[in-house]
Amino acid sequence: MSARERSDLPLARRVVVKVGSSSISGDNAHKIKPIVDALAAAHGRGTEVVLVSSGAIATGMPYLLLDERPSDLATQQAAAAVGQNVLIYRYQESLRPFRIVAGQVLLTAGDLENATHRSNARRAMERLLGLRILPIVNENDTVATHEIRFGDNDRLAALVAQLIGADALVLLSDIECLYTRPPDEPGARPIPHVSYGDDLHGFEFGSVVVNSVGTGGAATKVSAARLAAASGIGVLVTSADLVGEALSGDEIGTWFQPNPEPTAPAATGPVRTALDRLGG
């Protein structure tokens, strides 16, 4: 069933969960296990789960003896090639006790702009889900270039949710919910609920931030959440530490209410056009 409210999440037929680099790499690599535990619990309830996971470059950095995210494209691609392999291995090891098999799906923006590639991606993911495989999606950083990137995996997750007709999207971050301004600033107030069509221009979500391991920020999550909500997909933004509570429908995080009268997203057309309309 389509998730109209948080409490509908445990009953959702199909859920996309996105986790960022900082939540599962470096000193936080151990957090993969509790995240997988929560996904496995939802899988056990019969929910079809798709995980969109950043972290390939960040995971590969130590193997290339890098202390910070490389700035040149070639080294980013090299780190991604090493890190994606290690990342999938870590996920599969955590899934093994639940007898769940992961399936790796690597996409570029061009894959979702091209009608044939988009159809192939949808068919492959539908088949994986039908076989009770847990797809793990990431941008194909090894071949992507600066000109044809999604920009961040929040947007990728929203587009994947559209692609497979998900009932809900859960965007995991480093904070429990979104705030009216950066949470470390005076006067910042939590935002528990965003009704469809709410005007958010008065809030200060901040620009995209780049840290030592990844890209993203509150602004990208808002943009991605509104993109998915416009297609009738309910979206929850919360902390990676609360993924179990999130998938159980607890009253946490920031809930973006879906469009009650959604129109189907176009099957083809530039990914960037959809993002540009939302300020991406």
Could you tell me which residues come within 8 angstroms of residue 180 by beta carbon, excluding any fewer than 6 positions away?
187, 188, 189, 191, 202, 203, 204
Could you tell me which residues come within 8 angstroms of residue 30 by beta carbon, excluding any fewer than 6 positions away?
none
Q: What b/e string do you get for 124-160 counting C-beta neighbours within 10 Å, with b at 16 or more?
A: ebeebbeeeebbbbbbbbbebeeeebbbbbbbbbbbb
For 142-187, what is the HEC assignment?
A: CCCCHHHCCCCHHHHHHHHHHHHCCCEEEEEECCCCCECCCCCCCC
Q: Is 174 known to sit in a ligand binding site?
A: yes
* 48-53 sheet: strands from edge to edge: 102-107, 134-139, 48-53, 14-19, 168-173, 234-239, 254-256, 193-194
Nearest 5 degrees, angle CA 131-CA 113-CA 21? 65
Q: Is 173 known to sit in a ligand binding site?
A: yes
CB 95 within 8 A of CB 101: yes
CB 29 within 8 A of CB 18: no
Q: Beta 209-210 vs 193-194: how paired, if at all?
A: unpaired
Q: Is 223 known to sit in a ligand binding site?
A: no
* Feature table: binding site for ATP: 18, 173-174
Residues that constitute the known binding site for substrate: 54, 141, 153
